[in-house]
Chains A and B, each alone.
Chain A
């Protein structure tokens, strides 16, 4: 299997520190992820420069110390020079250090500054996407055409390739396009980081930051949240599909059509069957509600009440809808009215009233939700 061979090779190469300074090993995971944009390629070059420097300094120091230890070990009969610190070298040699170190430092600052300017330059963006981090999902808003992609973790087993690296909805970008990302967050700090295509900047609630990139290679790129955001920090991966410009235009059209169709479907006065509502409801419930109320409806009392057998889920439909649409003051229950359309609310409420042994038995139709708003 390809993956196994790959990991063996990696294991075999790890022993050699020299591999650090050889970009050819990048594909084996010993180095920064291979860059796929001009910007990250420049950062990669800078990284290689500093890495080499770090490597050589470490080698020089180690070899020099090793040489001294062998040369001046007492077992070889070395006599200590008691006056060395008082001779000219002893008194003035400290001047050498700032000179040498400053020289090395300055050799870094120049290239670093050039790259920094590139990171901060303002290219005319052809596409602007707002990337919003929330506990624990990413939302991508294409500001130019109103398309929105919400990206949640897709569950996998730990031994599967996609574990913690796949999401339900991929983030789609066109190749060879100047892209500007706007970063913000809705609750705590997050950081959107896909090392191959863009550098990271923190997503801070109340702040908006921008980074830009121009991806030069089509492909799928992976990343994950890089700023600790609590319990689900390990569970908000990023998957970016970079596709050709033509395909991207098609994708936008399809995506817009889908969104319109969904909206139309939700607002239509169609009467839905119980099976359809329950199927949609389960999917939506797992995505939106299960974090607190749990997949089995048992909740996490006392903070998150159980829905299984609860008074609200088995009581009047109007009150149930009220809580879901408008939230409940003084608790963690959010108002979902602004985020979910009529059909989605109807499906979730129907599901909650008829799942896990709840036997309210009634169906809630989108029209009911509409009048409840």
Chain B
């Protein structure tokens, strides 16, 4: 009797109006909110990047004052990392993990709601931190996202807002991660063993585990900074027996694994997209799973390669150099597996596949410049120049952002029930890829020529490279209006998508997510499916 009632209650569809979103405990709705939030923040963070590039368009101050410029640099990075890539990844996880493992929802739907609704206030504070200096809030946060003291001690109220933002975002992502791991461990459909999990689920398993380990450390580090600023402690203040270098260690102990937090979900997406469009199963599934574990382990012990210039002992730097170079093994393994998934396939070039192929090539290139940077004596020249800026944008834009784009094009038909316009999708791929390369490739050269990062202005010897970068950045930035248009158009209507969506999905990555209708009903897998 009671069973029948709950059954009934479950089927009356989603609640209507604002309540549907505010009180939502549905993984699909929450996933959608995460993705929309990330898209909005992408435009805000991107607009900041446009101002940065407009300022660096020519020698001389064009648009903004040095203080505000460095604040833009800080907030551009924090927004892109914490408010774009991470929420977008969690959004994908919310949407796809329950569908992929045959679960009715996330393990803790209410907590899921809370982890999302912490984000908008955090984002407001993040933006507010840039505005308070204009209203007597003291010095801007001109430190860059690394927040190194003693410079961060000089910042005004904006810094405190940022610290609280980081706390809230930290709580949100830790709750999200706990939810995801609990879901993966406990909610799998019968027969769905760990080694049958789709690669995307595996990638999120590692990502969430990594977040739980490193995010609290960063939260602790900025808390110490807050105490130093206001409560007279001296964790990082030499005058009171502290050590400014300690903050750098704490920051990068978090900061380096954070790069993999951004990267791994996209690697997971590649593990889904490439088999689908090569029409054959993923090559080297096991070695990918263990390779990610190796990446996880190595990622935690190589942090100080970001600080070769702080005067560490020769043994320490050598250790960090070798550890860092060893990372090329799991990364190489991933690239190798993806390439051999293509080998002897039957390849077509839909938009998600174009992004995946672009990632293989551009991310490999970022890997090689990464090895260049890992070599200590050479890094003593590259450190803190535009070469580094170019390197990590090559790693993070293809490595995580393009992975997210691939995911959006790959799953948008599943989410909305409509096919996107393939022609426009392909135009978007070429437009953004050309814009991206034009922006960041020249930056390798400006770095080698001696242009330090985080400078508001430069001598004319760097002009040509910066002009190219700026032109590229505007091309890259504008392409996202097309992206937005494609998404809205697909949500509104379009060719009806089949349940399988892609011809290759039954061969390449046959999974439970393709067995539900497109779009999936509000509730799915209330009766757990049986996996062979």
**Minimum distance in angstroms from B457 CB to a CB of chain A:** 5
Q: Is the CB of A200 within 8 A of B381?
A: yes
A32 to B448, CA, bound (A): 4
Is the beta-carbon distance between A200 and B464 smaller than 8 angstroms?
no
Would A58 and B284 be within 8 Å (CB), given that A65-B342, A199-B377, A200-B381 are in contact? no
The CA-CA distance from A55 to B291 in the complex, in Å, is: 25
A:199-231 near B, CB below 8 Å: 199-202, 204-207, 209, 222-231
Whether A43 pairs with B377 at a CB distance below 8 angstroms is yes
> Closest Cβ of chain A: how far from B130's Cβ, in Å?
15
B residues 356-382 near A (Cβ < 8 Å) are 357, 360-361, 364-365, 368-369, 371-372, 375-378, 380-381
A contact residues around B325 at 8 Å (CB): 105, 108-109
Report B153-176 residues with CB < 8 Å from chain A CB.
154
Q: List 9 A-B contacts (CB under 8 A).
A: A31-B448, A61-B335, A108-B375, A164-B458, A200-B383, A204-B311, A205-B244, A206-B238, A206-B243
Residue B499 lies at the interface, judged by CB distance under 8 Å to chain A: no
Per-residue CB contact flags for chain B residues 410-454 toward chain A (1 = under 8 Å, else 0) read 000000000000000000000000000000001001001110111
Does A311 lie at the interface of the complex (its beta carbon under 8 Å from any beta carbon of B)? no
Contact between A204 and B329 (Cβ–Cβ < 8 Å)?
A: no
Decide: A225 near B452, CB < 8 A? Known: A7-B464, A47-B381, A158-B60: yes
Given A46-B378, A117-B314, are A205 and B344 neighbors across the interface (CB < 8 Å)?
A: no
The CA of A204 and the CA of B238, in the complex, are separated in Å by: 10
Q: Give, as a whole number of angstroms, the nearest-CB distance from B188 to chain A.
A: 23
Within 8 A of B (CB), among A23-66: 29-33, 40, 42-43, 46-47, 50-51, 53-55, 57-58, 61-62, 64-65
- Give which listed residue, B70, B364, B368, contacts A228 with CB less than 8 A: B70
Closest to A61 in B: B364
Chain A interface: which of B110-118, B140-148, B191-199? B140-148
Q: Are B385 and A54 in contact (CB under 8 A)?
A: no
**Nearest Cβ distance between residue B59 and chain A, in whole angstroms?**
4
Complex interface: chain B residues within 8 A of A33 (CB): 448-450
1/0 contact trace for A183-209 toward B, CB 8 Å?
000011101010100011110111101
Of A81, A85, A195, A222, which one neighbours B381 at CB under 8 angstroms?
Answer: A195
Question: Could you say which residues of chain A place their CB within 8 Å of the CB of B507?
Answer: 80, 82
Is B310 touching A204 in the complex (CB atoms < 8 A)? yes
- Minimal Cβ-Cβ distance residue in B for A86: B281
A112 touches B369 (CB 8 A): no
Please name the residue on chain A nearest to B68 by beta carbon. Answer: A231
Contact between chains at A109 and B154 (CB < 8 Å): no
Whether B528 sits at the interface, judged by CB under 8 Å, is no
Least CB distance, B520 to chain A, in whole angstroms = 28
Which of A68, A100, A112, A157 has a CB less than 8 Å from the CB of B339? Answer: A68
A191 touches B309 (CB 8 A): yes
Report if A233 contacts B (CB, 8 A).
yes
Give the complex CA separation of A105 and B360 in angstroms: 20
B376 x A112 contact (CB < 8 A): yes
Q: A5 interface residue, CB < 8 Å from B?
A: no
| Cα(A32)–Cα(B450), bound, Å | 7
Task: Give Cα distance in the complex from A115 to B321, angstroms.
Answer: 13
- Cβ-defined partner of B59 (8 Å) among A46, A54, A90, A159: A159
CA distance A96 to B336 in the complex (A): 10
Asked if B66 contacts A189 (CB within 8 A), the reply is no
Indicate which residue in A50, A96, A188, A227 contacts B384 across the interface (CB closer than 8 Å).
Answer: A227
Interface size counted on chain B using CB atoms at 8 A? 94
Given contacts A47-B378, A209-B311, contact A61 B360 (CB under 8 A): yes
A230 touches which of B70, B333, B371, B372 (Cβ 8 Å)? B70
- CB-CB under 8 A from A234, the residues of chain B are 66, 455-458
B65-82 residues at the A interface, CB under 8 angstroms: 66-67, 70
Q: Known: A101-B332, A191-B384. Is A120-B244 also a contact (CB below 8 A)?
A: no
Q: From A14, A68, A116, give the contact of B317 (CB < 8 A).
A: A116
CB < 8 Å: which of B243, B280, B468 contacts A84? B280
Q: How far is the CB of A204 from chain B (nearest CB, A)?
A: 6
B124 beta carbon closer than 8 Å to chain A: no
Sample of 12 more A-B contacts, CB < 8 Å, known A68-B347, A228-B151, A230-B151: A14-B464, A72-B342, A78-B346, A80-B507, A90-B284, A108-B325, A158-B460, A163-B60, A189-B151, A224-B450, A224-B452, A235-B457
- For the complex formed, measure the closest distance between the CB of A223 and the CB atoms of chain B, giving whole angstroms: 7
**Are B282 and A85 in touch, CB under 8 angstroms?**
yes
Q: Are A164 and B361 in contact (CB under 8 A)?
A: no
B337 at the interface (CB under 8 A from A): yes
A97 interface residue, CB < 8 Å from B? yes
Bound together, the chains give a CA A108 to CA B280 distance in angstroms of 36
Contacts of A61 in B (CB 8 A): 335, 339, 360-361, 364-365
A23 to B144, CA, bound (A): 33
The answer to whether B345 has its CB under 8 Å from any CB of chain A is: yes
| Pairwise interchain contact B385-A226, C-beta atoms closer than 8 A | yes
> What are the residues of chain B within 8 A of A101 when measuring CB–CB?
328-329, 332
Chain B residues with Cβ below 8 Å from A97 are 329, 332-333, 336
The residue from B280, B360, B376, B380 contacting A82, defined by CB atoms under 8 A apart: B280
Contact among B280, B336, B347 for A73, CB-based, below 8 A: B347
Cβ 8 A contact of A64, one of B60, B278, B339, B445: B339
Q: How far is the CA of A29 from the CA of B244 in the complex (A)?
A: 35
Residues in A with CB closer than 8 Å to B458 are: 164, 234
Question: Are B58 and A158 in contact, CB atoms less than 8 angstroms apart?
Answer: yes
Task: State whether B344 touches A72 (Cβ < 8 A).
Answer: yes
Enumerate A136-167 residues with CB–CB distance to B below 8 Å. 157-159, 161, 163-165
**Bound form: Cα–Cα A57–B361 in Å:** 10
Q: Tell yes or no: B522 within 8 A of A by CB.
A: no
Q: In the assembled complex, which residues on chain A have CB atoms less than 8 Å from the CB atom of B143? A: 228, 230
Whether the pair B279, A80 counts as a contact (CB closer than 8 A) is: yes
- B530 at the A interface (CB under 8 A): no
Q: Counting CB contacts under 8 A, is A102 at the interface?
A: yes
Q: Mark B246-259, 1 if CB is under 8 A from A, else 0.
A: 00000000000000
B368, A53: Cβ atoms under 8 Å? Answer: yes
B454 touches A46 (CB 8 A): no
Whether A58 touches B364, Cβ cut-off 8 Å, given contacts A189-B150, A191-B384, is yes
For A161, the chain B residues whose CB sits under 8 A away are 459-460
**Chain A: CB-nearest residue to B368:** A54
CB-CB contacts of B451-495 with A at 8 A, as 1s and 0s? 011111111110111001000000000000000000000000000
A20 to chain B, nearest CB (A): 8
Q: Does A94 contact B (CB under 8 A)?
A: yes
A109 x B150 contact (CB < 8 A): no
Asked whether, in the complex, the Cβ of B364 is within 8 Å of the Cβ of A187, the reply is no
- B375 engages A50 (CB within 8 Å): yes
By beta carbon, the residue of chain A nearest B313 is: A120
**Which residue of B322, B333, B464 contacts A94 across the interface (Cβ within 8 Å)?**
B333
A69 at the B interface (CB under 8 A): yes
B298 within 8 A of A: no
Q: Would A228 and B144 count as touching, CB distance under 8 A? A: yes
Q: Is B340 an interface residue (CB 8 A)?
A: yes
| B347 adjacent to A11 (CB under 8 Å) | no
Answer whether residue A273 sits at the interface, using C-beta atoms and an 8 A cutoff. no
Cβ of B245 within 8 Å of any chain A Cβ, yes or no, is yes
Q: Which listed residue (B311, B376, B465) contacts A207, Cβ 8 A?
A: B311
Q: What's the nearest-Cβ distance from chain B to residue A149, in Å?
A: 22
**What is the bound-complex CA distance between A62 and B437, given in angstroms?**
15
Query: How many Å from the CB of B136 to the closest CB on chain A?
Result: 8
Interface centre among B144, B377, B380, B458 (most CB of A within 10 A): B377
- 8 Å CB contacts to B: which residues of A223-250? 223-235
Q: Is B321 a contact partner of A109 (Cβ separation < 8 A)?
A: yes
Tell me whether A43 and B345 are in contact in the complex, defined as CB-CB below 8 angstroms, given that A81-B280, A112-B375 are known contacts: no
The A245-301 residues at the B interface (CB cut-off 8 A) are none
